[in-house]
């Protein structure tokens, strides 16, 4: 069986989707589903800061969509938040510092409901982690996995709301993160008793070279029967 490499795209049912926000914007995205089975859970991917180059194709989210439908039977929804451009296209509107983007996350959850997708998990990266913390109170959300959380746009009130919800929350923190390092992360997330901090040794904020570890940690929480992810793939 061939090795799974950084640019490997595994079989899935993929299609372009459009999300419609309550403030009448149209957002572009992609939904990837397992090829032959129903998904066991769903990742709603929230990308890094668009003003710093973040978009739905940021490498960890792209690799999640390329691999996890086949390897873990997960549905993976990626989309560009308002004003964000990627090869898929440009979402309407303009960056709003995490305020208007609440409508974007709500539109993504609405699409998942319309598609009858199971067990919705928010998978945020950097800016996307703030959106996950802000929007996680939606009753359709099962839990969240945060990658490189800066805790920049979210507040202590958002953490308190997560604590009160009891929903699972995991923070994957690079050892040498540019914004929030492990010791600080443990201190900040102590406000959420059920939160766990997972350290990625040697990694920086963008986690280049650590995609496999990150995806393993995501799957360990969202689809534990698929953990650990294989390093080779064959359709059998």
pLDDT in tens, 2-28: 999 999 999 999 999 999 999 999 999
- pLDDT above 90 as % of the chain: 98
Q: Does pLDDT of 112 surpass 60?
A: yes
Contact partners, residue 7, CB within 8 Å, separation at least 6: none
Q: Token pair of 174, please?
A: 């690079």
Sheet architecture: strand order including 13-20: 13-20, 26-33, 74-79, 41-46, 120-125, 141-147, 169-174, 195-200
* Contact status, residue 4 vs residue 67, Cβ threshold 8 Å: yes
| Per-residue confidence (pLDDT) for residue 1, from 0 to 100 | 82
* Contact status, residue 139 vs residue 45, Cβ threshold 8 Å: no
Helix, strand, coil share (%) of the chain residues, nearest 5: 30, 25, 45
- pLDDT above 70 as % of the chain: 99
pLDDT digits (tens, 9 = 90+) for 155-169: 999 999 999 999 999
What DSSP character marks residue 67?
H
pLDDT digits (tens, 9 = 90+) for 198-225: 999 999 999 999 999 999 999 999 999 9
* Contact status, residue 124 vs residue 130, Cβ threshold 8 Å: yes
Angstrom distance (rounded) from CA 32 to CA 39: 10
Angstrom distance (rounded) from CA 66 to CA 71: 10
Angstrom distance (rounded) from CA 37 to CA 34: 6
Q: Does pLDDT of 136 surpass 90?
A: yes
Sign of CA dihedral 66, 69, 74, 76: positive
Q: Does pLDDT of 236 surpass 80?
A: no
Q: Which CATH class is domain 14-226?
A: alpha beta
| Per-residue confidence (pLDDT) for residue 101, from 0 to 100 | 98
What DSSP character marks residue 226?
G
H/E stretch holding 62 reads helix 59-72
H/E stretch holding 130 reads helix 127-135
| Per-residue confidence (pLDDT) for residue 234, from 0 to 100 | 83
pLDDT digits (tens, 9 = 90+) for 72-107: 999 999 999 999 999 999 999 999 999 999 999 999
pLDDT, mean over the chain: 97
For the chain, the structural domain boundaries read 14-226
Q: Is the pTM of this model over 0.85?
A: yes
| Per-residue confidence (pLDDT) for residue 235, from 0 to 100 | 59
CA 30 to chain centre: 13
* Contact status, residue 134 vs residue 169, Cβ threshold 8 Å: no
């Amino acid at each position: 069986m061939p090795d799974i490499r950084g640019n490997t795209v595994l079989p899935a049912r993929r299609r372009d989707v459009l999300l419609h926000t309550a403030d009448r914007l149209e957002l572009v995205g992609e939904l990837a589903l397992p090829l032959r089975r129903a998904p066991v859970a769903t990742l709603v991917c929230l990308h890094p800061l668009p003003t710093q180059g973040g978009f739905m194709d940021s490498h960890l989210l792209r690799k999640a969509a390329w691999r996890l439908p086949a390897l873990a039977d997960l549905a993976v929804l990626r989309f560009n938040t308002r004003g964000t451009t990627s090869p898929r296209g440009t979402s309407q509107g303009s960056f709003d510092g995490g305020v208007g983007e609440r409508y974007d996350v709500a539109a993504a959850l609405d699409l998942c409901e319309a598609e009858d997708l199971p067990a919705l998990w928010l998978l945020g990266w950097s800016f996307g982690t703030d959106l996950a913390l802000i929007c996680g109170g939606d009753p359709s959300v099962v839990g969240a996995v945060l990658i490189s959380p800066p805790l920049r746009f979210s507040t202590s009130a958002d953490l308190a709301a997560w604590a009160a919800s009891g929903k699972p929350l995991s923070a994957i923190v690079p050892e040498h993160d540019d914004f929030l390092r492990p010791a600080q992360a443990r201190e900040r997330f102590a406000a959420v008793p059920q939160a766990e901090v997972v350290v990625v040794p040697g990694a920086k904020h963008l986690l280049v070279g650590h995609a496999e570890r990150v995806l393993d940690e995501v799957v360990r929480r969202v689809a534990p029967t698929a953990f650990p992810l294989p390093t080779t793939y064959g359709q059998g």
